[in-house]
Structure 1
């Protein structure tokens, strides 16, 4: 994959993420903060972004989202297909809720 293609893909991922995040925040901020793993301050900033700002941020050449599954236990719970899948997903959500929210500087 060429550099230009990778930058285009990153822009698309960023744009989709930011639009989804903004929609989630406007619909139910508390749930969005939990599901996105962001702070209230970051949620307020995303909520206030104009379409032009979203496009500019999406084209920044950096991914604006972060992979949250730093803990292998949580990732295994979400990907394992046991007979009690709902319980594993609930347990993973509880573990993730206990993790500190990281603010972006």
Structure 2
């Protein structure tokens, strides 16, 4: 990775996310919305962005995506050695689908 500073890193992250979001939504809208954790309105807005809009949004200096595994329980589910990886992934997917992310729901 040849990023020179944090501003460049934020721009690259934003562009990568927006490009991926559009691709996932164009390939299979429902699955893309689920994977990205988007509402229909946000999915519509992301799908309609032009490349110029994407560049402008990416240049805002703010990270435009929210990482859902920001909750400790989600991260600890993947790092716990007692569960097989497939079960941990399924458990996290179910937690995301239900909208419940606190530690009690994941442990």
Correspondence for 1:80: 80
- Superposition deviation, residue 98 in structure 1: 0.8
Correspondence for 2:41: 41
Gaps of 5+ in 2: 101-107
Gaps of 5+ in 1: 101-105
- Superposition deviation, residue 79 in structure 1: 3.0
**How many residues of Structure 1 are paired with residues of Structure 2 in the alignment?**
97
- Superposition deviation, residue 57 in structure 1: 0.5
TM-score by length of 1: 0.83
Correspondence for 2:67: 67
Within 5 Å, which residues of 2 pair with 1:10-49? 10-49=10-49
Runs of 4+ in 1 over 6 A off after TM superposition: none
Correspondence for 1:103: none
Classify the secondary structure of the residue corresponding to 2:5.
helix
Give the aligned CA root-mean-square deviation in angstroms: 1.7
Q: Which structure is richer in relative contact order (CA contacts within 8 A, separation 6 or more)?
A: 1
Correspondence for 1:53: 53
- Superposition deviation, residue 78 in structure 1: 2.3
On the 8 A contact 1:10/1:61 being kept in 2, the answer is yes
